[in-house]
Amino acid sequence: MLTEALIALASAAGAAVAQAAGTEAWTAVRDRTARVFGRGGAPTAQVTLERLDRTAAALNAGEPDGAQELVRPRLGASWQARFEDLLESLDESDRAVVAEQLRELVALCPRPAGGPSAGDGGLAVVGKVDIRAEGGSVAGGVIHGGIRMENPPQPGPDRG
């Protein structure tokens, strides 16, 4: 089971791969990602390179304006899952080495202008977030910017 910090790192690395496609950072991110996955040997690195090329092709397919921004989060999530699987497969010492390599990979990719960012202990999300409290627990969130509620809460006995 991965810690929250490692899951967040896998998420950042997945987003970095998706953000880098089509930018000046792509070659460095592509090569670094192949090295991270190629720890087991050349065939693994080659498979990773082929997947990375399909990622770049999906993002550079000449889709209508805005379509790439729908595809990018999906591809980032796909790479996040791959990074998580890799981290879970490693022992503690190898996991630490790969975690450092993922931090370096994330640093290669410039943040998109106007994109979300969060400081220590924060959470920045593009997309949907559900915050729930169940069984007497407490949940909270701070919102900066606009919100849209698809299913607004209905008044009930505990909601005045």
- Given a cut of 70, is residue 30 above it in pLDDT? yes
Is 141 a domain residue? no
Q: What would the mean pLDDT of 96-116 be, rounded to a whole number?
A: 82
- Given a cut of 60, is residue 113 above it in pLDDT? no
Q: What would the mean pLDDT of 68-87 be, rounded to a whole number?
A: 90
DSSP designation for 57: H
- Given a cut of 60, is residue 146 above it in pLDDT? no
**Residue 84 vs residue 157, higher pLDDT:** 84
Is 28 a domain residue? yes
Q: How many domains does the chain have?
A: 1
Residue 88: the pLDDT is 95
Q: What would the mean pLDDT of 67-71 be, rounded to a whole number?
A: 73
- Given a cut of 90, is residue 7 above it in pLDDT? yes
pLDDT above 70 as % of the chain: 68
CA 20 to CA 29: how far, in whole Å? 7
Is 61 a domain residue? yes
CA 33 to CA 17: how far, in whole Å? 8
Tokens 């791969």, located at residue: 17
Helices (H), the chain: 4-20, 26-37, 42-59, 67-89, 92-108
Is 126 a domain residue? no
CA 155 to CA 27: how far, in whole Å? 54
Is 149 a domain residue? no
Is 130 a domain residue? no
**Mean of all residue pLDDT scores within the chain:** 81
What's the token pair of residue 98? 């790969």
Exposed, middle or buried: residue 73 (CB in 10 Å: 0-12, 13-18, 19+)?
middle
Is 16 a domain residue? yes
What's this model's pTM, rounded to 2 decimal places? Answer: 0.67
Residue 95: give the domain boundaries.
4-108
What's the token pair of residue 61? 């397919």
pLDDT band at 45 (very low <50, low <70, confident <90, very high): confident
Is 152 a domain residue? no
pLDDT band at 114 (very low <50, low <70, confident <90, very high): low
Fill in the amino acid letter for 48.
Answer: T
Tokens 């040997």, located at residue: 41
Rounded to the nearest 5 degrees, what angle is found at the Cα of 154, between the Cα atoms of 150 and 156? 160
- Given a cut of 60, is residue 119 above it in pLDDT? no
